[in-house]
Structures are given as structure tokens and as C-alpha cells.
Amino acid sequence: EVRSSVVYASFIVMLVFVPLLTLSGVAGRMFEPLGIAYILAIFASLAVALTVTPALCHILLTRWGKLSDKEPPLVRFLNPIYGWILGLVSRFPKLIFSGVLVFCLAGLAILPLLGGSFLPELREGHYIIHTASVPGTSIAESLRIGGQIEKRVSEIPGVRSTSQWAGRAERGADTFGTHYSEYEIDLDPMEGAEQQKVLDEIREVLEAFPGINSEVNTFLTERIDETISGYTSPVVVNIYGKQLVALDHKAQQVAAVMREIEGATDVQLRAPPGEPQLEVRLRLDELAYWGLKPVDVMRTVQTGFGGAVVGQVQEGNHVFDVVVVLPMEQRQQPDDVKKLPIQTPSGVMLKLQDVANIQQVSGRYMILHAGAQRLQTVTCNVTGRDLVSFFAELKQRVHDEVEFSADIYPEFTGAAVAQAQSREDLIVHSTLAGVAVLLLLYIALQSLRNMSLVLLNLPFSLVGGVIAVLLTNGVLSIGSLVGFITLFGITLRNSIMLVSHFHYLVVEEGKPWNAETAIRGAQERLPSILITALVTALAMLPIALNSDSPGREVMGPMASIIIGGLISSTILNLLVLPSVMLRYGHFKK
């Protein structure tokens, strides 16, 4: 009786997980293993159900002699109550169908209230702070400011250790200037809400330092955002053009708009202009008069301010370079460059300002390029609201409030774009998988009318998941979509088992299709539907509880949706579907 139904239902559950295997980018890397594991687990359980379980039943149960055909005490207690409720409900099929429709419409009305994000807040117990002061800030000043930041952050309850590095290594591949610093903040073991409190206090500390641009994230969040957009922030606006000054102007306008939007924090220009530089332009006529060569003058400048290796000293097994350089007190001010002594071939001592024009100018320590085009980039983090709505508002306001010429245009990227792409991929691939699901569903139910009734009632079960999202954090992530996919498969499986049993009673046992047969079929499927819901919900419950804690951030929302959806799904399969099938279903003998 149940073999074909179990096979078709299991293959349908496997099919609804196939779209997860087609996701690209970071989402694919994260959820593809989950989809593979789920499909293999369903396939293994099907194989066990068709082979091992019947064999063990034959071997073990027959040893006990004749088995009792009595139902378990709990089922004997529930069946009369369930039969009475189902009989009452089945008298008003139109009212039930209308109620389902209203309930589904209410669920659709809730959807616009839900926010969206690529991933929930990850609780790693570790934060990374990035700070950038005015370009040209010295290493010593960056370390001084960093020391004050570390002192304030270390006083926050729950912070275990802090560390800072400033600038970049001499041969490092990074493009950071001396004004840039990075800090690693390690926390004591704590729950998600406590980690969020520490994060909020860290941001308050950073806001107390005027003129310092900063951002705070967990390590894994930064790596994911960096993989998506190239930056450690979830919201990125790239502005492409030819003229650097015009790009800076537009970037400042975009940053101003971004700061006015609710939830924006850590707004930064990634290649800020205005780095102070000393420009030394040699006067070739003066050099020729004194018999100097440009290369000799610039070598002297390099030796005086950068140092020159003139020998080595060996102490034991260690070798140290001997470097000639001006004393520190003569390398601090712009006037020190002007006063740099230059010796002519004739032995006359000159100053650098005698043979060169020296002036302070504004330059850049970095110019961004992408696709052979110049660009300026503005980034920010989002707190206190969902990423999707923030991103939509940002795009709308930038297009409305910032005018772009023909040769300058913006590009919006980041985690919100990645989420939208993943959602589109899921919709497209789910549609293709849905065609195969419909074919299997039709084969399993052997009736186009019955298949349509099952599909019409399916949204009813998904509304429970929507309500679960609303009652938890109100934000849909990629993990939440996986929860809805799981719920879709569970609901279809239970519906197939119930409707197939109705078909078995009418076709195989010759029962007339009436209220008595519908109630009997539903009562006989009551244990299996309840056990499926209870076992799944109990398995998900530890993950759903306190889902903001470390290790549960991604799976927690998925578990909450499955539990919420199982409640509405169980109501659907036990009350709504039998009533609707009794009134509108059709079974042939």
C-alpha cells in the first residue's frame, strides 16, 4: 500500500533540494554541502525503509507469535476526538476553503514586513576593528591613537584581549597607508545577545574619536563580504569615471546621502584624497651651474631621509646593516628638507632649496582601478535594520539626489546584491525542479484534480514559517529560504501519504468516497503524520532555541521556520486537506 507513495514522496523531497546544488558564489559554497547531505540521507532512509525495515520486521516480530492489532493507548485516546473534530469540520468545506484562502492572503500580507539579509549576524567571539585617520598621519601618531582606542575597548566587560598593527609591512602586498590601523578584539565566551552588547559598546568608543573613520566586523563576516565585493563591508557603491576630482566629489555626495539613511554606520571613502606630500622639483639650470647631476641630488635626499646601507657589523652569528641617515630631530619638519646639505664637486656646501623648488602639495596614496577604469568607492555597515530594505532605500535616494554625468556612473554591490542573485537562482532552478515535482506528484496521486487540490493547500503550510520569521527576528536570510524548501518537501510527503491512502481505501478496499471513508483514512494516517511532525520539531528545537548564539546563527532561522511551518502543515494535513478532498476530490474504483 505505502511502497509507491513512500518512493514518490522521497524523490519529491530530494528534488526540492536540488536547487541548492546549483547556487553559485558564497551561498553555493555554504549550502551545497547541506543539500548533498540531505539528499543522500533521504536516499539512504528510503533504501532502509524498502529493504532493511521489512526484513527486520519479518525476522524479529514473527518470533513473538501473533501480533496484537490493537492501537497504542495514546492513539486510541486521540482517534475518537480527532474523528469528532474532523466530522465537524467536514460539514463546512466552503467555509474551510475560504478560511485557508484568507489565512494564505494574511501570510502574503506579512511578507512585505519582513526584512532580508544575506547572512545573519555571526557570533564568533572575535571582532576586527579598522580605523583610518587623515591620510599622511605618521606611524607614531597612529600608534598613539590606537593605544587610546585599545585602552578604552579593553575596559568593556567581556573583552579578553586587544592588539593593534598600523600601516603595512615594508614588502607587504597591502596598499594601506601609515594612517591605517587594524585591531583584533578577543572576547570571553558569551551568548549572542552579550556579544551584540559588546559590539555596540565598541562602536560607541570609536564614535568618541573625531576624525577617525572606523568599522567593526567579525572575521568570517569580513571574509564573506570581501569575497563578494572586494571590501569588508556589506554595502559597497563603486563610482566609475575618468577625472579623480570629479569622482571624489560624487563619492562625497553619495557618502552624505548614505549617512542620512537610518541604520548606516562606518561610512568610509576607500581611497580618500588629500594626503600631504612634499614635491621636490629640481632646477636643472642651477644644477648645471654648480656641476651637479639630478641623480646625485636625489641620492642625497634618499640617504638623508630614507637611509643608505654603507656596511655591516657582525656580532656573534648575527649580521647587522650599518645605515647612514639624518638624526631623527632633523627629519620631522618640511623645512628640514629645504635645509638638506648638498655638496658640489668643487666642495661648496649648498642647501636643497638652492637647487630645487620645494612645496607641500595634496596627493594620493592610492588610486583605485577596475576594468581599466578609475573609480572611487564608498562603503558602510548596517545596524538596527535589515540589509535589503537599506540597500533599496540607498539606491533610490542616490538616483534621486545625486546627479551623474554621462562619463560617471555608480555601481551598487555587496551582500545585498549577492542575496538577490542567490534568490533569483533559487527561484529559477526551483521552477525547473518544480516541473519534475509536478510529474511525480501526478504519478503518485493519479488524478489531476487531486494534485491541484494538494498544491492549492500547500501555501497554507508555508504561512506558519512566515509567522515564525515574524516572531523571531523578522529577517529572511539564505538559511531561511532553505527552511522553506525543507518545509515544502515535508508537507508534500505527508499530503501524498494521506491522499494515496484515500485512493487505496476506495480503489483496493471498495469503500465509497464519503465522509466516513475520509474520516477513517485520516484517522489511520494520524499516527504517521503526528510522529513525522513531532520528531522533526523535536530535532529542530535545540537549534531554534537561542538561535543567536555562537554556532546556531545560520541554522537557527531555518529551524524556526521548519517548526513554525510544521504546526500549520500538521493542521493542513489533519483537518484542512481531508475536508477539502471530501468536497472536491475524486477517486475512481
Provide the residue ranges of all domains of the chain, joining segments of one domain with +. Answer: 72-113+457-589, 125-217, 276-363
Q: Classify 185 as helix, strand or coil.
A: strand
Pick among 3.40.50.300, 3.40.47.10, 3.30.1330.40, 3.30.70.1430: CATH of 125-217: 3.30.70.1430
Tell me which residue has cell 535594520: 385
Report the pLDDT value the prediction gives residue 378, as an integer from 0 to 100: 92
Quick one: what percent of the chain has pLDDT higher than 90? 23
Neighbouring CB atoms inside 10 A of 494's CB total 24
Q: Work out the pLDDT band at 355, boundaries 50, 70, 90.
A: very high
In this structure, of 546-550, 561-565, 578-582, the range with the lowest mean pLDDT score is 546-550
Alpha helices, H only, 92-159: 93-110, 139-154
Q: Report the C-alpha gap between 312 and 323 in whole angstroms.
A: 9
Q: Report the C-alpha gap between 364 and 374 in whole angstroms.
A: 13
Give the H or E element holding residue 358.
Answer: strand 356-363
- Residue 486 pLDDT > 70: yes
Q: What long-range pairs does 154-161 form, CB within 8 A, spacing at least 24?
A: 156/198, 156/201, 156/202, 156/205, 157/198, 158/187, 158/188, 158/190, 158/194, 158/195, 158/197, 158/198, 159/185, 159/186, 159/187, 159/188, 159/198, 160/186, 160/187, 160/188, 161/185, 161/186
- Residue 113 pLDDT > 80: no
Mean pLDDT computed over every residue of the chain: 85
Cell of 36: 548533498
Cell of 531: 510522529
Identity of residue 191: E
pLDDT in tens, 260-274: 999 888 888 888 887
Strands 275-282 and 264-269: unpaired
Cell of 343: 655638496
| Domain 72-113+457-589 listed as CATH 1.20.1640.10 | yes
Q: Report the C-alpha gap between 477 and 185 in whole angstroms.
A: 27
Q: Report the C-alpha gap between 200 and 511 in whole angstroms.
A: 66
Residues 175-197 have a mean pLDDT of 87
Q: Which CATH class is domain 276-363?
A: alpha beta
Report the pLDDT value the prediction gives residue 153, as an integer from 0 to 100: 93
In this structure, of 229-233, 301-305, 368-372, 567-571, the range with the lowest mean pLDDT score is 229-233
Q: Report the C-alpha gap between 465 and 461 in whole angstroms.
A: 8
In this structure, of 37-46, 59-68, 315-324, the range with the lowest mean pLDDT score is 59-68
Closest CA to 392 of 484, 214, 263: 263
Can you give the pTM of this predicted structure? 0.71
Residues 520-526 have a mean pLDDT of 88
Q: Classify 128 as helix, strand or coil.
A: strand
Highest mean pLDDT of the ranges 4-8, 112-116, 399-403: 399-403
Residues 1-30 have a mean pLDDT of 81
Report the pLDDT value the prediction gives residue 312, as an integer from 0 to 100: 92
Report the pLDDT value the prediction gives residue 257, as an integer from 0 to 100: 93
Give the H or E element holding residue 19.
Answer: none
Identity of residue 5: S
Q: Report the C-alpha gap between 429 and 427 in whole angstroms.
A: 6
Residues 54-62 have a mean pLDDT of 84
Half-sphere exposure of 488 (CA within 13 A, CB side): 22
Report the pLDDT value the prediction gives residue 303, as an integer from 0 to 100: 92
Quick one: what percent of the chain has pLDDT higher than 70? 98
Give the H or E element holding residue 554.
Answer: none
Cell of 120: 545573519
pLDDT in tens, 381-419: 888 887 888 888 999 999 999 999 888 999 998 877 877
Report the pLDDT value the prediction gives residue 144, as an integer from 0 to 100: 92
Residues 364-393 have a mean pLDDT of 86
Q: Answer whether 573's CB lies under 8 Å from 567's CB.
A: no
Q: Work out the pLDDT band at 589, boundaries 50, 70, 90.
A: low
Report the pLDDT value the prediction gives residue 324, as an integer from 0 to 100: 93
Q: Classify 248 as helix, strand or coil.
A: helix
- Residue 181 pLDDT > 70: yes
Neighbouring CB atoms inside 10 A of 222's CB total 20
Residues 475-482 have a mean pLDDT of 76
